[in-house]
């Protein structure tokens, strides 16, 4: 089997996992989750979003969370959809930012109130500002397989966004199945074509588990050599502008699969699974039962 020797798991529960929760989660509870995750040894944690609190109320405490993460000394990622967000992130010394742009223009408009091309144009300034401050830029291609608003998403639409990210020298490009409707064949095909087109780009996978295919999709991407994956403790997650989507691949399930396959992650399944109940306790939604 053609799979990488080691895989980086990027834990996204404090951000993707909690952003769409209908009941307010206190900043103290978020800090507790981040502390527990930090103790498990994740190389990177996606901690918060500098978005508008009217659009995503759950992320209104982004500055306080960023200050807390800096106090812990961890490498963390924060979402920044526009230049105002980047300015907020710079003020609190965020080490890694993430832009997120829909390959589907219909989704992008719903999610960040701009067309895909308008958002890509804004990226010029975002990337420039980030580089000036030595900030790592992660760049998501959202709805990279299908879209609840426009249906089919073509490979050309995905490539259009990727090409711009490559031209802007993104440090990492995350191909995201935002609504969780990809299947392993699509994943293998799209990642293979992107790898061939951009052999030196660093790619990561971000799979939502709506139809319980997040793990098999991960495996399909691993067979193309992809070795960075986002996942969320307890399978929490969902985007408020991706109706019907369930959470991300559950970290504990992903880790169990990788551990059993002998793939190194630097994490321990036994330790990680102990933290999952706390993460789930923050959610009001029925979450993935896990293993
Ligand atoms: P907008 O309303 O178009 O913004 O929102 P605007 O530029 O027209 O400005 C309107 C007001 O908002 C102004 O204030 C701005 O200053 C303020 P006023 O002058 O009226 O007082 N404003 C901001 N305030 C705080 N932070 C900001 C900001 N920007 C403008 N950053 C905006 C545009 C992007 C802000 C809005 O659409 C937004 O916040 N969207 C976020 C949506 C979101 O967070 N979605 C979930 C994350 S994406 C996701 O989950 C997918 C992912 O997991 C990968 C995958 O699965 O695909 C990453
Ligand atoms: Mg997501």
The tokens describing 124, both together, are 């010029």
Q: Please indicate, yes or no, if residue 2 is contained in any of the structural domains.
A: no
Q: Please indicate, yes or no, if residue 3 is contained in any of the structural domains.
A: no
The boundaries of the domain holding residue 124 are 8-281
The predicted structure's pLDDT at residue 254: 98
Q: Please indicate, yes or no, if residue 68 is contained in any of the structural domains.
A: yes
Ligand 1 contacts CB of residue 145 (under 6 A): no
Q: Which pLDDT band holds residue 287 (cuts at 50, 70, 90)?
A: low
Return the CATH number at 227.
3.20.20.70
User: Which residues hold their Cβ within 5 A of ligand 2, which is an ion?
Assistant: 16
Q: Please indicate, yes or no, if residue 289 is contained in any of the structural domains.
A: no
Q: Please indicate, yes or no, if residue 94 is contained in any of the structural domains.
A: yes
pLDDT digits (tens, 9 = 90+) for 128-181: 999 999 999 999 999 999 999 999 999 999 999 999 999 999 999 999 999 999
Report the number of distinct structural domains present in the chain: 1
Q: Please indicate, yes or no, if residue 290 is contained in any of the structural domains.
A: no
Q: Which ligand is nearest to the CA of 51?
A: 1
Q: Please indicate, yes or no, if residue 168 is contained in any of the structural domains.
A: yes
Q: Please indicate, yes or no, if residue 12 is contained in any of the structural domains.
A: yes
* Short-list 111, 189, 186, CA closest to 148: 111
Q: Which pLDDT band holds residue 291 (cuts at 50, 70, 90)?
A: very low
- To the nearest whole number, what is the mean pLDDT of the chain? 96
Predicted model pTM: 0.97
Q: 261 and 269 in contact (C-beta within 8 Å)?
A: no
What ligand 1 atom has the least distance to the C-alpha of 56?
Answer: 44
The tokens describing 25, both together, are 């989660």
């Amino acid at each position: 089997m053609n799979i990488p020797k080691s895989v980086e798991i990027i834990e996204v529960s404090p951000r993707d996992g909690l952003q769409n929760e209908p009941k307010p989660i206190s900043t103290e509870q978020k800090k507790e989750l981040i502390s527990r995750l930090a103790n498990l040894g994740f190389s990177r944690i996606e901690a918060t979003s500098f978005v508008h609190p009217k659009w995503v109320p759950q992320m209104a405490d982004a500055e306080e969370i960023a200050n807390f993460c800096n106090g812990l000394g961890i490498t963390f990622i924060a979402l920044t959809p526009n230049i105002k967000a980047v300015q907020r992130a710079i003020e609190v010394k965020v080490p890694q930012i993430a832009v997120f742009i829909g390959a589907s223009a219909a989704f992008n408009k719903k999610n960040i109130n701009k067309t895909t091309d308008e958002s890509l144009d804004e990226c010029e300034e975002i990337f420039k500002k980030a580089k000036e401050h030595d900030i790592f830029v992660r760049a998501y291609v959202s709805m990279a397989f299908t879209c609840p608003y426009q249906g089919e998403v073509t490979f050309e639409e995905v490539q259009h966004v990727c090409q711009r990210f490559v031209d802007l020298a993104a440090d990492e490009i995350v191909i995201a199945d935002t609504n969780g409707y990809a299947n392993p064949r699509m994943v293998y095909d799209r990642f293979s074509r992107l790898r061939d087109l951009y052999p030196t780009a660093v790619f990561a996978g971000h799979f939502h588990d709506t139809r319980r295919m997040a793990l098999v999709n991960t495996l399909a991407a691993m067979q193309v050599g992809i070795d960075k994956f986002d996942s969320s403790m307890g399978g929490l997650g969902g985007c408020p502008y991706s109706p019907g989507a369930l959470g991300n691949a559950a970290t504990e399930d992903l880790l169990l699969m990788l551990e059993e396959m002998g793939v190194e992650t630097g994490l321990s399944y036994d330790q990680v699974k102990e933290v999952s109940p706390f993460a789930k306790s923050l959610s009001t939604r029925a979450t993935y039962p896990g293993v």
